Each structure stands twice: as C-alpha cells, then as structure tokens.
Structure 1
C-alpha cells in the first residue's frame, strides 16, 4: 500500500484549490490585466518545485492507478518527475509535457489539477483504454530561478523569478535534433528515459506566448500548431491535426476561449517538429496566453487571468484523453485548420515557442 503524504503547501492550494470552484466568466478571452509595471505579478501563488513534488506524492498515495517515475535530473540536480497511468501497454499513449520553459507555469498548474482529476470518478473507465504520461515542470531550475545568470531585469515578485532557460542559459526546446549525448540534461532525460523508452502515440507540448496576440482585434487565449517540418511522415502529421481538432473543439465550445494558429518554424530542434520526425509521435503545440515572468513587460500577464488559463489546460488534457480512449479522435474533422487564422500581434512582439 502506498504511504500517504500530506505536505501540500499553502501556495499550491491557492494555485489549484480555489480556481476549480469558480467558473470562468463567459467572454473571458483575453481578460485579466496585462502587466503595466504597477500590478503585482506574484509568483508566490504558483507551485514551487518542492510543493509540486509534495503534491505529486500526495496524489500518488491516493491514486492506485498512478505511478511516479523520476526520469532524470536537472542541471542543478533536481529530480524530474513523470506521472504515469499505464493500465495496458497495448493501449494508445499520450504524453503531456509542460515547462520546457521555466517561466511558463500556468500549464503546469493545469497539469497538476488534471492529475488530481484522473483520480476521481469523473474519469472512471477512461484509463482502461488510454495510457497517460504527464511531465510537469521539465525545467525546474528555470522555474525556481536557480540559474547561473542574472534575473534582475525580470518583472515578477513574490519570492522568486522564473526564466525560460535552464540553469546554464540553454533553451531546452532548441535541443531536440541533437544526439542525446550532446543535449542539455533536461532534454537528454526526456529523450532517453521517456521518448525512447515508451511507445507514445501523441504528445501535447504546452507553452505560453506573449499577451498581445489577437484575431480580428480580439485577444486570443492561446494558439496551436501541428508539426510543420517537411520531413514529418504525412500520417503522423494528419494524426497531429486530429489531436489539434479535438483540442480546438473542446476549448471553442466553452465560450471563453479563442484559439489562433501559431506561426511556428520548421526547425527540427523544436520539440513539435523534431520529436514527430524522430519517434513518429503525433505532436501538438499549445501556447497559452501570457507568461508568469519575463524581462519583456508585454509577455507577462496579470494574475487575474490565472483561473481561466489553468482551466483551459485542464479542458485540453481531459478532452484529448477522452477522445483517444473512446476512439472519436479517429473521425474528428480536421478541415478547420484550412480556415483557422494565424494570430497576429498588436505591438509587433515576436512569439518564440
């Protein structure tokens, strides 16, 4: 029997325990303040690495279907955790990956809430037909601001800064076309101990973009994109488009989300592309609106937006798992990709997945 651990921090409870009881307002697309130098953007309401580990261990003790695995360590020696739900190795498997970039944390908050969700009766029977892997906070050093370079020009307060890069200043999402021996520690752990080890069919790589992206003058709540490298297998790409259709339909149907098409590159150093080519995994990039911290003011979003963005993450993960489990992903209509507009930016800021 698993030993029960009860050391969830107050900050973690604030980040995840309160939003679920408050339904997002209709028309919440783009709502919540942009950072203007006056509003407090507090990192203290987000999970720290330590409180995240406590949270995962608590859920592990409560959920029989859940198994925690340490897939490697960060540059600074922090264990990288993966939550596993594998009932049958023959089932289709989906991987959810968050915080390759340490300053993009609300998707992680949503992933943690989703892990709790998987332990409830709301998902009864679903895990019999699909395997789920969740890696929250791949870049724990960047998330904790424990890096070998200055973060003095970052904007958030509340106890720590969060940065895109790993402890040595590398962008983990630019490592995916290298030999694993040449990758930074976090990317190497992902490739050697997850992507090469498990038979994964789908992956959603969850990120955050700036705050100024829009469609037809209305701020988006996020953007999506399938692998666009010319080297991707057409069947893998088509399955990626189907995964995107599931996500788009789920978010769009809520009435408070607005998704655009992300204008991403074709480089295979990017996870969305490189992982699809090397492993034949159908991948989807999902960029949520706003970041938890940055040195560009226009990238940082006020904390009043946290609730609906966390909820958007939960909706995305839940819809994907259900569609794979019941097989509806196989027949979903992907024609929306032909008319989905690329997002544009009001201030001309550059997005960078």
Structure 2
C-alpha cells in the first residue's frame, strides 16, 4: 500500500516536470469523478496503518516524539507528532482530517513527517517547533460511524465521512467543544503548547475555480471581527508563504476561499481564543462523498499530496529562518474569491 502511494506521488512529480512543455492540467483541471473515475479508498492509509507508520518513524527519528492526546468517540487513540527542539522557538501546528473524508492532506502530512527524518529539511528543526495532528477524526476516516453511508461513492473496503461517529462536524465545535476529539485538541494541544501558527488542512468540492481555471486549492485567514490585528497580519503572512510556494508552480492554482466568520470554526475560534495566527487551506476534491461534484478522480492524488508536502515544508522553513516576517501580504487585496463552475 505504501508503494502505491509513493508511486502516485512520483507520478505527480513526473507530470509536473513534463508539464512545462504544454498545458498543465494535473490538479486544477484534473478529472473529477463524474461517475467515470474509480475512487478506491484502499490506497489510503487506514487508521491502523497510519499509527503503525507513525510508530515506525518515532523509532527511527531521534527528534520525533509521539503523544496520545485523547480518544475518539469509538475509542481510537488520537496522535500528536512533536518536534520540539527549543521551547523558545516559534511553534506551528498542522492539523488534518477534522473531516474524515478529506484524507490526502493526512497522506501529505505523513510524507512530511518522513521527510523531517531525512536531510530534506536539514536545519529547519533548529529554528521551529513543529506539531502535527495527522488524523483528528479517525472514526469518520474509517467509516466507523453511527449513521448510514449507503449513498457514499467510494469503493475499496471502506467509506469516509465528513462527520465523526456522532454525526457531528468537528469543525463547528470549537466553542462548545462537546465532542471528545475537539476536547482532546483543545485541552492537550492548544492549551498545552505555546503555538504561534496553525494551518488547518481540508478538502473542498472539485468544481471551484478562479479566473476561469479550476483551483488546486484555496486559502483563507480568520474573518471574525474579533481577531487581534497582529494575529490577523501573521495569518496573512502565513498565507503569503503558501501562495508563493504553490501558485507559481504551474501545477498549483489557488483561490481565495469564501468562508464565514463563525468562531465555532477553527480558523476563527482558535485565532481569537489563543491568539494564534491561523490559515485554512482547502485542497481540491474529497476522498469520498455522496455528491459526485465533491469527489475527485484519483489521477490527481499525487499532486494533492505533493501540494500538502510543499505547503508544510515551505511554511516550516519560512518560520525557522525568519523569512515569514518579510512575507508580502498585499496579494490578499487582489486574490479573487473562487466561485463554483457551472457544468
């Protein structure tokens, strides 16, 4: 299974290289499901496979420490991967899979963790503390829920659902903190570590476009009026680093996400409650859904994993070397809000 994922990522990288000779259509213009593409969940890490890989990396990497921060509704341990070299360094949290059917960001986060154990990010860990929650909603990711998924599209052994086992959207629970997954995140991560930045990684529908081209993803800073201006500026700088790393590549094309101001959403609520600069990154397409226009054909998987890895590596490096302070945020003023392409 890991060989399959590696091959997908490699295939994506090869098309990026070759794409300079002609139109690049891998992520943004890659095929949607449309009833014609296979959407096979067996190529994605199961919860048990993810945990096994995290433990393998923990044994191999001296600077990695794994912590169980709580349990899901169904009793799955929730993991935090920690790289804390100096408590005085700035700290960034990468959060994935609040929604269980949005898994390619988790695949990318796992690749990023592997890279941190190699020379690919030499010196980065000396300047930044990195926290990764690679799967906040394992019950949804495994389809182990107390409601019907009979209309969901994917095949390959399991369905993946947005909500947790109680049919609650975890990304609408950041004020009340009713669900065990959100309580674990807040009690044992947000309140325990001095976090300066957070990127909340998600997936959106497959038909969002900017300037007439389907996007590979979209970004947004906090939009609640209660956010501190300095926190907002830090969020915009974080977004600038991501935009500059992805949008000029030829295979990436980012839009401005259209999102609300409710503080039940992590992007808003966490920024206000903890004074953390936050960024939402919504990748194109979902791993499973009951709506065909939300599911992306698997030919784009390698690119979306690559997009996640690039995002995590670029932001970690910018924070570590201090260059995030010079990030130019004026692009936010002209970045077009995405719209949904009409079929």
TM-score normalised by structure 2 residue count: 0.96
Inter-partner Cα distance in structure 2 for 1:156 and 1:306: 14
* Pairing 1:298–2:288 present: no
Counterpart in the other structure of 1:13: 3
- Whether the 8 Å CA contact 1:12–1:51 is kept in 2: the answer is no
* Pairing 1:332–2:327 present: yes
- Whether the 8 Å CA contact 1:16–1:109 is kept in 2: the answer is no
Once the 2 structures are TM-superposed, how far is the Cα of residue 39 of structure 1 from its aligned partner? 2.0
Say how many residue pairs are matched. 335
Deviations 1:209-229 (A, max 9, x none): 000000122100000000000
Deviations 1:252-276 (A, max 9, x none): 2322100000010000000000000
- Whether the 8 Å CA contact 1:31–1:305 is kept in 2: the answer is no
Deviations 1:274-300 (A, max 9, x none): 000000000000000000000111000
Inter-partner Cα distance in structure 2 for 1:120 and 1:216: 39
Counterpart in the other structure of 1:37: 35
- Whether the 8 Å CA contact 1:32–1:303 is kept in 2: the answer is no
Once the 2 structures are TM-superposed, how far is the Cα of residue 21 of structure 1 from its aligned partner? 6.4
Deviations 1:91-115 (A, max 9, x none): 0000000000000000000000000
Counterpart in the other structure of 1:91: 89
Inter-partner Cα distance in structure 2 for 1:49 and 1:210: 24
Once the 2 structures are TM-superposed, how far is the Cα of residue 17 of structure 1 from its aligned partner? 5.6
* Pairing 1:130–2:120 present: no
TM-score normalised by structure 1 residue count: 0.93
Superposition pairs of residues 237-316 of structure 1, within 5 angstroms:
237-316=232-311
**Which consecutive residues of structure 2, in runs of 5 or more, have no partner in the other structure?**
none
Once the 2 structures are TM-superposed, how far is the Cα of residue 247 of structure 1 from its aligned partner? 0.3
Deviations 1:128-152 (A, max 9, x none): 1100000011000000000000000
Which of these residues, 66, 72, 76, is aligned with residue 64 of structure 2? 66
Counterpart in the other structure of 2:138: 140
Q: CA RMSD in A?
A: 1.2
Runs of 4+ residues deviating >4 angstroms: none
**Which consecutive residues of structure 1, in runs of 5 or more, have no partner in the other structure?**
1-10, 349-353
Inter-partner Cα distance in structure 1 for 2:44 and 2:242: 25
Which of these residues, 173, 191, 201, is aligned with residue 196 of structure 1? 191
Which of these residues, 188, 196, 216, is aligned with residue 211 of structure 2? 216
Which of these residues, 175, 182, 186, is aligned with residue 181 of structure 2? 186
